[in-house]
Amino acid sequence: MKVYATKDIRNIVLLGHASCGKTTLAETMLFEGGGISRRGTVQGQNTISDHYEIEKDRGNSIFSSLMHVDWRGTKINIIDTPGYDDFVGEVISSLKVADTGVIVLNAQQGVEVGTELIWEYTEKFQTPVIFVVNQLDHEKANYEQTLEQAQARFGNKVIPMQYPLNAGDGFDTIVDVLKMVVYKFPADGGKPEKQEIPDSEKAKAEEMHQELVEAVAEYDDTLMEAFFEKGSLSEEELTKGLKLSMLNHQIFPLFCVSADKNMGSGRVMGFLNDIAPAPGEKSIELTNGEELACDENGPTVLFFYKTLSEPRLGEVSYFKVYSGSLNSGDELYNNRSSTSERLSQINIINGKQRDKVETLRAGDIGAIVKLKDTKSNDSLAKKGSDLAVIPIEYPAPRIRTAVGVADQKDLEKMMDGLKQLNKEDPTILVEQSPELKQIILSAQGELHLNIVKYRLEKLYNIQLEYSKPRIPYRETITKMANKSYRHKKQSGGSGQFGEVHMRVEPFTEGMPDPSGLTVRGTQEVPLKWGGKLVFYWCIVGGSIDAKYQNAIIKGITNTMENGPMTGSYVRDVRVCVYDGKMHAVDSNDMAFQLAASQCFKEAFKECSPAILEPVYDVEVLTPDSVMGDIMGDLQTRNAMIMGMDAKGHYQLIKAKIPLRELYKYSSSLRALSQGRAKHTRKFADYQPVTRDIQEQLVNAHNKEEVAV
């Protein structure tokens, strides 16, 4: 296998909304480059990219897929990504290792909401981007509208390199304003005939070419001087300017294709080869704050961006060589796990096909099977080195469900399977919640959950059950109360005796010390479930020995783990122990722990207790056409609208919504908007529930207690 130098490598990621044609474009690019001899189709279930059974069954991508092709001596690594936002983890991890993003637009639909969300990630990674308007052969194709929407959303930095001459059923001609030539394709696609631009199009093409030249010259002083001198730029100057502009996120070239008919993809590949940045033209930031150049002569550093479990093969770990060269048999060190890994068999990947290679140089992407203790987001380097790539940050989940199995003997298999899926997809989170007494599975959407269920049932032969998750309510108080309690027990021999007097009141940051009491000591107890217990020791005259302080605190915190109203955790309380009694023989830690627990419980009930519920900051990105329906639905969910902003030709609604109202919200939103609206959520804070809901929760808890 050929070993490619860093300068001869291009890493691209295909991005776009579902059904825009990314997988078909990938297939066509492989065919054009001679990587395959026959193009597969999504309908025929025989594409190189979508090779998993679940992808064939569903007819869309679920996983990112790595492929490669040699184009005139350059290795183009192609990563095809899913279009559904539920699989955003695959998109983000692919963007991490790509050097150019190819955003595919559907000429029928224009800029869709999935494109909007993907754009935000390209901005975050500062990934150079080109746009490809696909499906120009469709009868409803509208190039002008698609270009207008792209420029409205992403700015006039979107510069067309081409435009179609006859979009629609008879599409076969592209006018290239970069090279100032016409490409005329045969009916079955493939290699086009180059023609002169017809007189009817010359004025338009020349105007667009001039706009392109001016845009390129605008961002470079040297090119601007050359432009003023000559009124134009040479092909070499244009190439240099386009590359710099792409690297600096100043220009986003736009191309025309019909991936299905194999028209225009060769020109896109030529542009990627000639102008798109090579890996060595961009450095990467490390965890130690330094910048690492992508240099094949530098220290060897690998970053693992993806893990997949393959039947009969085990874990396959995908990586990018960010620096140096990787040779078969090299031993590198993982600082996170403090383990060495011997990389004995390096593979390059084409869908499900793996080919063994001896060397990969900086910038290249490959895979290794069965590493000891290296997972996604890990870096490998030489032992003693602190060179590690900054890990990927994944978005917070947008849906949660309780998960269980029909047969309890399958519980262990289910947990093993969920842990493996989390390894493969870090946007899947699993929590065994002792508070809720449920296993909570969090994901990106209903489709994401369905795929988890499908995979676990197929791989582990178990039957998964989803149910409504409980809400992690909290209890607190709203006013002060004083209470005393004596614990006394005598049953032969030494007994138990402890008496405490305490003041219980709400705690807020910055509140003054308790009035009327002499403070001898203060202790803040951060609670693992959030909030605080602030404890004041106000004993004067030795009525309780200070050695019992910890026992009293333990009694209080034990009670706070099972709140008196609903059994929920208690938070944000201040307790002052100001009096009590002890016995020289019968007092001990257990006696004071029990006395403090009961005293706190009784005082709590007299402090006007309140139940708090988790409230989330929710952002909904929606087209104008369905905004009214979405706003109406939000009102039924007790949402507090915090604001609305225009975002391109979409509207961004910001709201605060109780978690209890967010169950299956992603599914409702998809139904309301026909899949055109998306949402994100993030925990905000805890807020008091209304009186009627509080009564319902207390009554339900009391019934459960009686039933037990």
Report how far residue 492's alpha carbon sits from residue 603's, in angstroms, rounded to the nearest whole number.
31
Facing residues of 482 across strands?
503
Residue pair 410/340 in contact (Cβ under 8 Å)? The answer is no
Report how far residue 596's alpha carbon sits from residue 382's, in angstroms, rounded to the nearest whole number.
56
Residue 16: name the closest of 67, 56, 61, 47 by CA.
61
Task: Determine the angle formed by the axes of helices 665-673 and 627-636, rounding to 10 degrees.
Answer: 150
Low-confidence stretches of the chain (pLDDT < 50) are none
Q: Do the strands 325-327 and 314-323 form a parallel or antiparallel pair, or are they unpaired? A: unpaired
Name the helix (H) or strand (E) containing 183.
Answer: strand 181-184
- Enter the DSSP assignment of 272: H
Structure tokens at 453: 């269920």
Facing residues of 127 across strands?
none
| Per-residue model confidence (pLDDT) at position 493 | 65
* Residue 432 identity (one-letter amino acid): Q
CA dihedral 615, 620, 626, 629 (to 10 degrees): 0
In this structure, how many other beta carbons lie within 10 angstroms of the beta carbon of residue 495? Answer: 15
In this structure, how many other beta carbons lie within 10 angstroms of the beta carbon of residue 229? Answer: 8
DSSP 514-552: PTTS---EEEEEE-TTSSEEEEEE---SSSS-GGGHHHH
Q: What is the set of domains in the chain, with CATH numbers? A: 6-195+251-281 (3.40.50.300), 284-381 (2.40.30.10), 399-470 (3.30.70.870), 475-607 (3.30.230.10), 612-692 (3.30.70.240)
Q: What angle do CA 208, 211, 214 make, to 5 degrees?
A: 150
Task: Give residue for tokens 């989803």.
Answer: 466
Residue pair 246/270 in contact (Cβ under 8 Å)? The answer is no
Burial of 211 (0-12, 13-18, 19+ CB in 10 A): middle
Residue count of the chain = 708
| Per-residue model confidence (pLDDT) at position 195 | 97
DSSP SS3 for 345: coil
- Enter the DSSP assignment of 566: T
Task: Give residue for tokens 């599975």.
Answer: 441
Residue 534: name the closest of 572, 477, 564 by CA.
572
Q: Do the strands 429-433 and 438-443 form a parallel or antiparallel pair, or are they unpaired? A: antiparallel
Non-local (6+) Cβ contacts of 433 within 8 A are 439, 440, 472
Residue 376: name the closest of 451, 467, 305 by CA.
305
Residue pair 484/83 in contact (Cβ under 8 Å)? The answer is no
Task: Give residue for tokens 């809400």.
Answer: 471
Residue pair 343/328 in contact (Cβ under 8 Å)? The answer is yes
| Per-residue model confidence (pLDDT) at position 708 | 54
DSSP 348-402: EEETTEEEEESEEETT-EEEEE--SS--TT-EEE-TT----BPPPPPPPPSEEEE
pLDDT in tens, 565-596: 999 999 999 999 999 999 988 999 999 999 99
Answering whether pTM is above 0.85, one says: yes
Q: Do the strands 173-176 and 74-80 form a parallel or antiparallel pair, or are they unpaired? A: unpaired
How far out from the chain centre does Cα 295 lie?
29
